Structure 1
Amino acid sequence: MARILTLTLNPALDLAIRTGPIRLGEVNRTESTRLDAAGKGINVARVLAGLGHDVTVSGLLGADNETAFLRVFAECKLRDAFIRVPGETRINAKLSEPEGRVTDLNGPGPRIPAHAMEALTERLASLLPGLEAVVISGSLPPNVTPEKLAEFITLVRARQVPVWLDTSGAALMAGLAARPSGVKPNETELADWAGRPLDTPEARLRAALRLNDEGVDDVILSAGAEGVIWAQRGSALAAASPRVSVVSTVGAGDTLLAGMLHGVLSQWPRERGLRFATALAAESVRHIGVGNPGAEDFELLQKQTLVRSLSVDSLTGETRG
């Protein structure tokens, strides 16, 4: 399998809380609580390692509360190349209600010393030889600029290593300007880049294809229950997710990205890769945590995932003369 690096600049301890319907301003009882070492890049790494890849995790990790992360790295056989920084990694609270609504309360993360960023740049450069892909995922700590994220993308691409990006806001804008190989926005994030609402399938597809035209080879657009669009070098596929009972959507996007990258690196036909990744993301929302390809009914979930070719003409009803 492939050698992959995931870069998580602002990891978190995720406090997942399941409740009944939340009553604001009142005492609420929890059904369950769970504290996990997370961060989008670490979630991606867990899925990829479970699929048999040799995965190294790196980024910036608080030195004062690293124990939970070390446990996950050991359990999932992830190579630890994080730069330690003073203080604690942030804690994010995720409140899951019935019917699948999730409320995120995300901390900002620690301030990063300049020497730690220099050390991370050097470590990233040293890890690139022999890699088949790099994934940069998640938000930025308060004093790490979007321009620094773009520098990381430029560094990776200069070494001829594919780099995939999953972030939002100013970090996404700067990252896209550096032309990553692939990107996984949701519809809101893609609309921010496009500068206008993308409230129809046609509008979303046109925006994804425009990103292809501007040098991003793979655009994986996740639209929740509406499924997934994969635009690759000017052609597109759409996948309709199988119907499942939603417990938590936390980690579904990370699972989708990992599943897509697994298919690409395995050189699967595009339809097979998109079906696998979409079904794996659907499996993940049935429970807290990332998707499990070993689930007893995973083959059935794949069969229930419908994949079709997609074009602007097919959405608008236009025909070519």
Structure 2
Amino acid sequence: MILTVTLNPSLDRAMEIDSLARGAVIRAASAHLDPGGKGVNVSRALLANGVPSRAVLPSGGDEGAQLVHLLQAEGVDLIAVPIAGRTRSNITLAEPDGTVTKINESGPVLTATEFAAVTEAVLTAAGAARWVVACGSLPPGLSGPAFGELCARLVAAGVRLAVDTSGPALRAAAEAGAALLKPNREELAEAVGTPLRSLGDVVDAATRLRDWGAGAVLASLGADGAVLVDSDGVVVGESPVAQPKSTVGAGDALLAGFLAAGARGADALAEGLAWGAAAVSLPGSRMPGPDDLIRNTVRLHPRPDLVRPLLPQG
């Protein structure tokens, strides 16, 4: 079983529109309401592919109750810790050319008492898990050092910990000895304080995170694919998508596929890339199932050209 932790979950409403025009009345061609949050998405992707998972998250207000209802409807094994604040709602606007505009609420304040309750729920459930996956932004009121303490307690308990977050929390997870970090390009650049313009830059930045204490780094790079840096070396891969619909949750699907395939080496990277590409091909924040996966488009480069420039960021 893989246990996920989402400290700032959300309701995600995704709408497909013809074009985004500021100040105009825009009619949506379709709309989807999905459970949201990186750890939530990892659990949803795992369960969609028959991999046991349990999700821990704080939940508050009518939005939190609706989030719990949606997750239960999808069959997610859930530990919801009550909080006083209201679970946030996010909006995604997707255009036909693949352009995605996101509007994310910051989320409710998580008090020290509420975070302690979440922590105890995680530590109690972690004993039955082969991985604990802590994902997403920190809610207001929770500091990077406090998150690092949670990571350190899990590592000290012998848990294999994977973390997908940003800012000070990412460095705190590395210094706590997380077995796996999964930053995207922007998060990795922020962590090391320098732009990433080539595959070599990505590898250098990932190596710094490993120097800080992380076991392995899986960097998701959007259309440039992903880079895995671990004790065995460097593997680069990509899986092109002919008709992208939404990038929301693609990195979460990548991480889920990587973990499901054993979380080590080229084969796990290839599976993660297939899951991530499948998520990009689906609307909103839907997670791919077995019928959505197309593995023959994945290309791996065990000896990558590290001077290859990355695509410009939009």
Q: Shared topology, TM-score over 0.5?
A: yes
SS at match of 2:30: strand
- Alpha-carbon contact 1:13-1:37 (below 8 Å) kept: yes
Q: Give the match's secondary structure for 1:135.
A: strand
Alignment pair present for 1:295 and 2:294: no
Find the aligned partners of 1:212 and 1:169 in 2 and give their Cα distance. Answer: 16
User: What residue in structure 2 maps to residue 128 of structure 1?
Assistant: 126
Q: Letter of the 2:280 partner, please give it.
A: V
Match of 2:299 in 1: 306
- Cα contact 2:57–2:80 (8 A) shared by 1: yes
CA contact (8 A) 1:255 1:290 kept: no
Report sequence identity in percent.
Answer: 33
Q: Aligned to 1:99, what secondary structure does the other structure show?
A: coil
Q: TM-score, normalised by structure 1?
A: 0.89
Poorly superposed stretches of 4+, deviation over 3 Å? none
2:268 to 273, 293, 297: 273
Cα deviation per residue 1:252-303 (whole Å; 9 max; x = unaligned)?
01000100111126xxx7222211110111111111234424226x3xx311
Which amino acid is 1:216 matched to?
Answer: A
Structure 2 counterpart of 1:89 = 87
Identify the residue that residue 215 of structure 1 maps to in structure 2: 213
Which shows bigger deviation, 4-13 or 92-101?
A: 92-101
Q: Partner residue of 1:149?
A: 147
- Output the amino acid matched with 2:96: P
Gaps of 5+ in 2: 309-314
Q: Please, which of 192, 199, 203 is the counterpart of residue 201 of structure 1?
A: 199
CA contact (8 A) 1:17 1:31 kept: yes
Q: Which runs of 5+ in 1 are unaligned?
A: none
The equivalent of 1:44 in structure 2 is: 42
Q: 1:315 to 1:239 in 2, by over 3 A?
A: same
Considering only aligned residues, what root-mean-square deviation do their CA atoms show, in Å?
1.9
In structure 1, the partner of 2:20 is 22
| Higher Rg | 1
Q: Which has the higher contact order (CA 8 A, sep 6+)?
A: 2
**TM-score of the two chains, using structure 2 as the length reference:** 0.91
Alignment of 1:43-192 (within 5 A): 43-192=41-190
* Structure 1 CA distance for aligned equivalents of residues 19 and 76 of structure 2: 37
Q: Take 2:235 and 2:286, find their aligned partners in 1: how far apart are those partners?
A: 24
With over 3 angstroms needed to count, the CA separation of the structure-2 counterparts of 1:125 and 1:240, relative to structure 1, is: closer
SS at match of 1:287: coil
Describe the SS at the equivalent of 2:11.
Answer: strand
